[in-house]
């Protein structure tokens, strides 16, 4: 496994920032761009190369800023255009690139285009969105979204019809069949690239094309949800190819990374293989959604399932599909609580263990803000404490089915996106920076090791010791070097002979270790020179 092109993002460590919760720079208790600027030195020391900013555009913030009302303006809570330009300049001075989270499947229902489209059928923006008339006895089709558990149509009284929104009613879908819409999107993208940003993470890019004719979900469909009718449709590839050409012709070094949840390995090839001229990187969620059931239910998972999923996508590099590697994000439960153990005895140890697994893997790495501090979930006591609109939708839909409140809240406490969106406790970071044994300092050591070890950057990936169900183990092979990563993902001791793996690299989350056993949540990296 190797990257032939060696593009700037192939071996980058991207740090995702949910700006509202990152750092308050002006004392109003809301994270902002000035706050991000104030932490650039912190990020440099952490060893990251690129910042991914979740949406910072003007927005009513009904869905965490993923409902944009003006793509050319910065949300006043986050600062000004001058602040944005200052961030780009100062980040570049420190050799840190900036990519923006761009939402182009839908806008806010407060966007001027949509406000105009809702006023009259003769509006010049009417065809920017998807409206349908009915006889009044039913909705335009029977689509229900698995994300909101609700129909995807909302009535517009001014024009006596319905508009499509595959997420909330506050997020009407754009009509990508309309060439004028696409041209407007390209203008927006070029505007920010001209400002100096280095690329994009495109939100739900695989949903911009809908099934032709918007057909009803049929009785033969196994799931009651219609997601497959508005994601990964064939036309999506034509749209992305056009976007690729429009942007890369003028900005050939720009990164195009897409959120493509729900894809198969075969579909991944279609989106990112170099011959396709579509996306450069993709974000799939199979491994991190391993414990998510229908309707926001938390379900059991196994270590075997987790490592098989991670490794399946790692091996796709052999087919020209370069991996992105992440265990946390703004849409997920906190990493250490998700895959580690937050008991005081193992909290820090297991957070370090997960860092070893992740940062030893091949591909473009993404660290979600606060995972380097081993942040855990919030113990919300009532639905009123949740701010995530999706959590409220799930709660109300399941209540209507007669489910018990506490059972719903139990699931939401674990899967709610609020867990990743509370303010970073910077006093914790300050304490950790003064402790050589902290999780934060451990992350710094691993990122430094990763950047200095060619076998970790360029080596092939091979899973090993598959018979050990609780052990996450793999090797990276490059020229005459073999790097072996071993991680015990349980609270039990795993007895294993490690004498043949070479020398210890110093990457181990215990001060004392044995060549013949891995302690609970212990992880280490070995290096063997064969030449």
Place of tokens 């451990």: 442
Q: What is the pLDDT of residues 366-375, one digit of tens each?
A: 999 999 999 9
Please say whether the beta carbons of 354 and 336 come within 8 A: yes
For residues 264 and 526, give the distance between their C-alpha atoms in angstroms, rounded to a whole number.
33
DSSP string covering 204-230: TGGGSS--TT-PPPPTT-SSS--GGGS
d(CA 326, CA 257): 14
Nearest of 474, 432, 471, 440 to residue 355 by alpha carbon: 440
Q: What is the C-alpha separation between 239 and 246, in angstroms, rounded?
A: 11
Contact (Cβ atoms closer than 8 angstroms) between residue 198 and residue 100: no
- Mapped onto helix, strand or coil, the DSSP state of residue 462 is strand
d(CA 399, CA 393): 10
Burial bucket for residue 45 (CB in 10 Å: 0-12, 13-18, 19+): middle
| Tokens of residue 165, six digits | 């929104």
Per-residue pLDDT tens listing for the chain (531 residues)? 444 458 999 999 999 999 999 999 999 999 999 999 999 999 999 999 999 999 999 999 999 999 999 999 999 999 999 999 999 999 999 999 999 999 999 999 999 999 999 999 999 999 999 999 988 788 999 999 888 899 999 999 999 999 999 999 999 999 999 999 999 999 999 999 999 999 999 999 999 999 999 999 987 776 788 999 999 999 999 999 999 999 999 999 999 999 999 899 999 999 999 999 999 999 999 999 999 988 889 999 999 999 999 999 999 998 889 999 999 999 999 999 999 999 999 999 999 999 999 999 999 999 999 999 999 999 999 999 999 999 999 999 999 999 999 999 999 999 999 999 999 999 999 999 999 999 999 999 999 999 999 999 999 999 999 989 999 999 999 999 999 999 999 999 999 999 999 998 889 999 988 899 999 999 999 999 987
> What Rg, from alpha-carbon coordinates, does the chain have?
23
- CA 449, CA 371: separation in Å to the nearest integer? 18
Taking residue 15's Cβ as centre, other Cβ atoms within 10 Å add up to: 25
Residue 103: closest CA among 31, 172, 195: 172
SS3 (DSSP) at 92: helix
Cα distances (Å, whole numbers) of residue 362 to 25, 199, 254, 366, 462:
35, 21, 21, 12, 11
Residue 5 is predicted with a pLDDT of 57
| pLDDT at position 222 | 65
How do residues 114-135 score in pLDDT, each as one tens digit? 999 999 999 999 999 999 998 8
Find residue 257's DSSP bridge partners: 201, 281
Pairing of strands 199-203, 161-164: unpaired
| pTM of the full structure | 0.96
58 beta partners:
70
What's the Cα-to-Cα distance from 162 to each of 45, 121, 180, 213, 447, rounded to whole Å? 51, 12, 21, 15, 50
Cα separation of 313 and 307, whole Å?
10
Q: Quote the CA–CA distance of 48 and 67 in Å, as a whole number.
A: 28
Q: For residue 302, give Cα distances in angstroms to 290, 297, 314.
A: 9, 16, 19
Mind listing the domains of the chain with CATH numbers?
13-107+177-213+221-384+419-448 (3.20.20.80), 112-164 (3.90.400.10), 460-529 (2.60.40.1180)
Q: 75, 38, 28, 39: which is closest to 56 by C-alpha?
A: 75
Whole-Å CA distances, 205 to 90, 101, 257, 279: 30, 11, 9, 10
**235-250 and 179-195 are packed helices; what angle lies between their axes, rounded to 10 degrees?**
40
Q: 263: which 2 tokens?
A: 């894809």
Nearest to 49 by CA among 356, 492, 366: 366
Helix (H, G, I), strand (E, B) or coil at 460: strand
Contact 361, 319 (CB under 8 A): no
Helix (H) or strand (E) holding 303: helix 303-314
Confidence (pLDDT) at 320: 87
* Contact between residue 483 and residue 508 where contact means Cβ atoms under 8 Å apart: no
């Amino acid at each position: 496994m190797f990257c032939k092109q060696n593009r700037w993002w192939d071996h980058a460590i991207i740090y995702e920032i949910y700006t509202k919760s990152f750092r308050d720079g002006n004392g109003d208790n809301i994270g902002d761009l000035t706050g991000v600027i104030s932490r650039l030195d912190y990020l440099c020391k952490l060893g990251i190369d690129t910042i991914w900013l979740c949406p910072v555009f003007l927005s009513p913030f009904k869905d965490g800023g993923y409902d944009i009302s003006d793509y050319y303006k910065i949300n006043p809570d986050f600062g000004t255009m001058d602040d944005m330009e200052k961030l780009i300049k100062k980040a570049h001075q420190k050799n840190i690139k900036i990519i923006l989270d761009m939402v182009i499947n839908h806008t806010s229902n407060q966007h001027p285009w949509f406000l105009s489209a809702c006023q009259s059928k003769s509006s010049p923006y009417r065809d920017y969105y998807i409206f349908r008339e009915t006889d009044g006895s039913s909705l335009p089709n029977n689509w229900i979204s698995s994300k909101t558990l609700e129909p995807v149509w909302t009535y517009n009284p001014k024009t006596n019809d319905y508009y499509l929104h595959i997420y909330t009613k506050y997020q009407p879908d754009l009509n990508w069949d309309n060439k004028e819409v696409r041209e407007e999107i390209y203008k927006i993208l070029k505007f920010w690239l001209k400002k100096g940003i280095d690329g994009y993470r495109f939100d739900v890019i695989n949903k911009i094309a809908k099934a032709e004719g918007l057909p009803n979900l049929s009785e033969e469909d196994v799931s009651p949800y219609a997601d497959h009718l508005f994601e990964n449709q064939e036309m999506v590839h034509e749209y992305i190819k056009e976007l690729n050409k429009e942007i890369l012709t003028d900005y050939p070094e720009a990164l195009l990374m897409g959120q493509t949840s729900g894809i198969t390995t075969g579909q991944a090839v279609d989106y990112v293989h170099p011959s396709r001229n579509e996306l450069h990187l993709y974000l799939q969620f199979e491994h991190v959604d391993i414990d998510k059931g229908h309707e926001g239910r938390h379900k059991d998972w196994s270590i075997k399932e987790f490592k098989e999923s991670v490794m399946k996508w790692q091996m796709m590099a052999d087919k020209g599909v370069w991996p992105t590697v992440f265990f946390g994000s703004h849409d997920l439960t906190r990493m250490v609580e998700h895959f580690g153990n937050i008991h005081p005895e193992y909290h820090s140890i297991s957070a370090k263990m997960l860092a070893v697994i992740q940062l030893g893997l091949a591909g473009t790495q993404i660290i979600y803000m606060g995972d380097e501090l081993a942040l855990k979930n919030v113990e919300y006591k009532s639905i009123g404490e949740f701010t995530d609109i999706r959590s409220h939708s799930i709660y109300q839909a399941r209540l209507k089915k007669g489910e018990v409140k506490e059972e719903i809240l139990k699931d939401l406490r674990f899967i709610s996106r609020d867990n990743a969106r509370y303010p970073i406790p910077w006093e914790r970071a300050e304490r950790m920076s003064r402790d050589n044994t902290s999780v934060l300092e451990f992350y710094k050591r691993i990122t430094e090791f990763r950047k200095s070890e060619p076998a970790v950057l360029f080596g092939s990936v091979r899973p090993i010791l598959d018979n050990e169900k609780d052990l996450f183990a793999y090797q990276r092979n490059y020229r005459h070097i073999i790097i072996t990563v071993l991680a015990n993902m349980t609270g039990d001791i795993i007895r294993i002979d490690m004498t043949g793996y070479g020398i210890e690299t110093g990457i181990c989350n215990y001060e004392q270790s044995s060549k013949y056993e891995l302690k609970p949540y212990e992880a280490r990296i070995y290096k063997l020179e064969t030449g």
